[in-house]
Structure 1
Amino acid sequence: MSARVVPEDGRRRRRPTKQGAVLSERLIVDTALRLVGEHGADALSVRRLGAALGADPSALYRYFRNTDALLLALADELIGRAQDGWRATGEWRADLRAMGLRIHGSYLSQPQAALLAAHRTTGRPHETRAVETILGILRDGGFPDPLAVRIYHAFVDQALAFAAQDAAAAALPPAAAEADTEVWREVYGRLPADSHPHVAATFPLLAADMRDSGYPFALELMLAAVAALHPDARG
């Protein structure tokens, strides 16, 4: 899939598709997210997307030069959804916490898309706004620029790494997910105390905790470490 992308003003389809909708970048992205959510990575093809839209597949080239460009648009859409409705409080710790949880939650709402896109750098408007916002939280919070950049890097990588891992778990077929859960009961729950004393002693807590994402607590650990690096804490 490779062709010249037509500027926004020149690529609007005047006639409705077979489904009665007017083709647009927004419609394509929303439809692609739905298809990927229902069918996984294989759904991200011009043929399947065109069929779902009721449009000639070649019409999609007017909006995206190839499927990778479309994938970046999906990633950027997830980043944009994470920022919808967010308002800064002016307190850096609360604002970073909210932003991290929003990013993680947005990707988890579309686990199949997250598997494809959580590691990508889009360079698109939602992503650039997120970079600006997070750096602004840190700089306005009193962190010097070199430290703000390093914290930004670790903060975003942590959120996206957990999003990718948790998305992979959420995207497992039900049978595989149940098999993973069964391992905790049938393997870890039966380990003898003489060979695995720490597992045996903590198993009920361990099994309960492993049902949920480790991200919220990992985020709190990071925020505590970041607070310790603040110039005020070291002064």
Structure 2
Amino acid sequence: MTERVVPEPQRRRRKPTKQGTVLSEQIIIETALRLIHQHGAEALTVRRLGAALGADPSALYRYFHNTDDLLLAIADELIGRALHGWQPTGDWRADLREAGLRIHAAYQAHPQAALLAAHRTTGRNNETRAVEGILGLLRSAGFQDEAAVRIYHAFVDQGLAFAALDAAALSLPAPAQEAERRVWQARYGRLDASTHPNIAATAHLLAADMQLSGYPFALELLLDAVAARLPGAGGQAY
């Protein structure tokens, strides 16, 4: 794609595509998500999107500067889906937990897209709303601005890092996923207690826990640390 985006008032395609679809930015994003889910990152091309939409690939230039512009829109869509219906309750810890789990779940629902988008900063509406909301929770809880920004940074990076890690695992072919699971039993579960006493004592726990995402517990650890730094809690402010 090249930079030929048509201004918003002129974007609407008056004539439906061959499939009877009237193009819009949202329809293109949803189609791109579906293609990435089915075929991986290589699906994010003008040609494949045009074919899936039943439209001339050049029509996509009316909505996005290039494929990177579309990828940013996809990243912002995932954030929007995560926070759809999220309403802060006034309990900063419960609200942060809910936001973190929602973001993680949204990326796990689209693991292939998560691998492409988790590290991107979109600057778009959904991301802006998320940044504003999370900072608002922290400032309302009593954190000074510098502390609120540092906690926001740690909170978001932790969530997105786990989202990308777990998405990578979910994106493995089924045989590879099964092989990963078997390692904890076939290898670690058979280590001798005389040489690996700690693994031998916990092998059954490892085999069960390592099948799950570590994010929920890591999130609680982070929230514990944040609570300890609340003004008046006795810890460092930041």
Interval of TM-score (by shorter of Structure 1 and Structure 2): over 0.9
Q: Does 1:21 align with 2:7?
A: no
- Which residue of 1 is the match for residue 114 of structure 2? 114
Question: 1:98 and 1:53 mapped to 2: Cα distance?
Answer: 35
Structure 2 unaligned segments of length 5 or more: list them: none
Structure 1 unaligned segments of length 5 or more: list them: none
The one-letter code sitting in structure 1 at the alignment partner of 2:197 is P
Deviations 1:45-79 (A, max 9, x none): 00000000000000001100100000000000000
Question: 2:73 and 2:38 mapped to 1: Cα distance?
Answer: 18
- Which residue of 2 is the match for residue 164 of structure 1? 164
- Which residue of 2 is the match for residue 128 of structure 1? 128
- Alignment of structure 1 residues 198-217 onto 2, 5 Å: 198-217=198-217
Question: 1:191 and 1:61 mapped to 2: Cα distance?
Answer: 58
* TM-score of the superposed pair, with normalisation by structure 2: 0.97
Matched residue count: 235
Q: Does 1:102 align with 2:73?
A: no
- Which residue of 2 is the match for residue 232 of structure 1? 232
- Shift of residue 183, structure 1, vs aligned partner: 1.0
- Alignment of structure 1 residues 45-124 onto 2, 5 Å: 45-124=45-124
- Once superposed, what is the RMSD of the aligned Cα atoms? 0.8
The runs of 4+ residues in structure 1 deviating greater than 6 Å are: none
Q: Does 1:155 align with 2:159?
A: no
Question: 1:181 and 1:82 mapped to 2: Cα distance?
Answer: 28
- Alignment of structure 1 residues 129-144 onto 2, 5 Å: 129-144=129-144
The one-letter code sitting in structure 1 at the alignment partner of 2:222 is M
Q: Does 1:44 align with 2:44?
A: yes
> 2:217 aligns to what SS in structure 1?
helix
- Shift of residue 232, structure 1, vs aligned partner: 2.3
- Shift of residue 16, structure 1, vs aligned partner: 0.4
* TM-score of the superposed pair, with normalisation by structure 1: 0.99
